[in-house]
Amino acid sequence: MVLDIALAPMALATKEFNAGDKVRVTVSFKYVVGVNTSVKLSAGPYYNNVFGKHLVDPCVGRADVTLTAVSTPTGGSATVDFVLIAKSLGGIDNGTYGLRVWVEGTNAVAEQDNVIVVSGNSSGGDMFSSMMPMLMMVMMMGMIMPMTQQMGEGTDEE
Amino acid sequence: MELKTLALDLGVFSVLQDKTALQVQQEPLVPGWYIDPRTGQRIFYDPNTRNFYTMGGGVYLPLMSLATPPKQVNVAPGDRLKIDVSFKYTGPAITGASIRYCVGPNGVFGFTEQLVAVETFNIPQVITPPSSPNVVNSHTFNIPTNVGTDWTCIYVKMYGGTPSLGGEVIPSYIFGYQDALVIVGTQPSITEFKIADFAKV
């Protein structure tokens, strides 16, 4: 009896995080390289919109990984940490994000959509930013009104 | 670093005096254009140099036909590459024969010898044709740090000795493999890259 089993990569489970959390990503790979070398492993959250995929750059973390010279494909693993910097500090907003990991200078990239759920950003900053246009309008009105009054006075003098 | 071995099987050969060797080689005896039965390529044979040529840009380019290797060996700077040579020999004893081992790129303008070594060996008298290779020789190269990624070809040739196996410049016994080596460069090549896990720390 022969078992015909196809193995597929295991999908990552969605996990919830709070703004400010540090996330550690573990990757596995095979490699060959002629000399001892060091590569830069990067990881970070990304989101999709109509224009494609966009990394949340402030949250991208990087780590140096040392590769010992081997001429036959050899298994390796590495970790890289990144911080979900809060929106109020110019970081990530609440929402669902993908996770991307890559080795700079190579074609090694791994990613999966919708695995990072971020919450915990305070709404104070958002209220201020939503009121900004209204405040700007009030300020502009305050500047324009005196000007129109002065123009009206000048006409009376003639 | 690892020791890699590439075995070259030269098949059957005999000394020049043995007429059967000439029959095995099946070289044309008159100058002219021939068609390589394996590739269909038009090649010119010059009996004076006993070499084949192709025409490129109005000049005759020496043709060195290397065989397809039975396997490829990955090597990197710092590795040691051992090349084993074996063959069946029948004939008189030969002393002081030489085998030249070469590694390098083989392109349109011929083989560029980047790593070269010469080993000297003796062959005892053999009267009965052997059923398996009865002469072996080998050389181990240290792959340098400046190895080029195109140093993928290997050839060996045998010459000299008493009685002579032939001249060094125009050897009777030359054999090589095209792209027998895969040079692992200084830039990493990463495969099967995947996220194993991620978690809050």
- Residue B50: is it exposed, middle or buried by C-beta count within 10 angstroms (0-12/13-18/19+)? middle
Chain A: which residues have CB within 8 Å of chain B?
9, 12, 15, 17, 21-35, 37, 39, 43, 67, 69-73, 77, 81, 99, 101, 103, 105-112, 115
Contacts A112 to B, Cβ<8 Å: 195
Find, among B169, B165, B16, the residue nearest to B97 by Cα: B165
Model confidence at B171: pLDDT above 80: no
Q: Could you tell me if B92 and B201 are in contact, meaning their C-beta atoms sit under 8 angstroms apart?
A: no
CATH number at residue B154: 2.60.40
Model confidence at B60: pLDDT above 70: no
Q: Give the count of domains, chain B.
A: 1
Question: Which pTM value belongs to this model?
Answer: 0.56
Query: Higher pLDDT residue, B151 or B15?
Result: B151
Specify the pLDDT at position A71.
83
Domain enclosing residue B119, as ranges = 3-19+64-183
Find, among B81, B78, B75, the residue nearest to B8 by Cα: B81
Radius of gyration of chain B (CA): 20
E strands, A11-143, in order? 15-18, 22-33, 37-49, 52-55, 61-67, 70-83, 95-103, 109-119
Instruction: Give per-residue pLDDT as tens, B84-128.
Output: 999 889 889 999 999 999 999 987 667 888 999 999 999 999 999
B138 forms beta bridges with B84
DSSP B66: P
Q: Percent of chain B having pLDDT more than 70?
A: 72
Over residues B158-175, mean pLDDT: 80
Model confidence at A24: pLDDT above 50: yes
Find, among A81, A83, A80, the residue nearest to A92 by Cα: A83
Could you tell me if residue B150 is inside a domain? yes
Find, among A32, A55, A94, A146, the residue nearest to B1 by Cα: A32
The beta-carbon neighbor of B196 closest among A21, A77, A112 is A77
Could you tell me if residue B121 is inside a domain? yes
Could you tell me if residue B157 is inside a domain? yes
Model confidence at B149: pLDDT above 90: no
Q: What letter represents residue A9's amino acid? A: P
Model confidence at B12: pLDDT above 60: no
- Residue B122 CA: distances (Å) to CA of A49, B11, B92, B125: 75, 18, 11, 10
Q: Could you tell me if A33 and B145 are in contact, meaning their C-beta atoms sit under 8 angstroms apart?
A: no
Task: Report yes or no: B3 at the A interface, CB cutoff 8 Å.
Answer: no
B184–A71: do the CB atoms touch at under 8 Å? yes
Model confidence at B157: pLDDT above 90: no
Task: Enumerate domains of chain A plus CATH numbers.
Answer: 15-121 (2.60.40)
- Mean pLDDT lowest among A3-17, B72-86, B137-151: A3-17
| B41 CA: distance to closest CA in chain A (Å) | 36
Could you tell me if residue B151 is inside a domain? yes
Could you tell me if residue B167 is inside a domain? yes
Could you tell me if residue B26 is inside a domain? no
B199–A30: do the CB atoms touch at under 8 Å? no
Specify the pLDDT at position A55.
95
| B150 CA: distance to closest CA in chain A (Å) | 14
Could you tell me if residue B49 is inside a domain? no
- Residue B153 CA: distances (Å) to CA of A114, B106, B141: 49, 6, 14
Nearest-CA residue of chain A relative to B200?
A23
Specify the pLDDT at position B11.
54
Model confidence at B150: pLDDT above 80: yes
Specify the pLDDT at position A100.
95
Query: Higher pLDDT residue, B53 or A116?
Result: A116
The beta-carbon neighbor of B76 closest among A15, A71, A105 is A71
Phi, psi torsion values for B47, nearest 5 degrees = -65, -20
Q: Could you tell me if B73 and B181 are in contact, meaning their C-beta atoms sit under 8 angstroms apart?
A: yes
| A69 CA: distance to closest CA in chain B (Å) | 8
Which tokens go with A106?
């190579």
Model confidence at A108: pLDDT above 50: yes
CA–CA separation, A103 and A108 (whole Å): 6
Nearest-CA residue of chain A relative to B149?
A34
Over residues A71-94, mean pLDDT: 93
Contacts B6 to A, Cβ<8 Å: none
Torsion from C-alpha of B36, B37, B38, B41, nearest 10 degrees: 30
Task: Report yes or no: B152 at the A interface, CB cutoff 8 Å.
Answer: no
Phi-psi region at B166: left, alpha or beta (left = phi > 0; alpha = psi -120 to 50)? left
Model confidence at B17: pLDDT above 50: no
B190–A107: do the CB atoms touch at under 8 Å? yes
Could you tell me if residue B32 is inside a domain? no
Phi, psi torsion values for B20, nearest 5 degrees = -65, -30
Specify the pLDDT at position B98.
93
A12–B74: do the CB atoms touch at under 8 Å? no
A35–B194: do the CB atoms touch at under 8 Å? no
- Mean pLDDT lowest among A8-12, A56-60, B41-45: A8-12
Cβ contacts from A onto B, under 8 A: 118
Under the banding of pLDDT at 50, 70 and 90, the label for residue B19 is very low
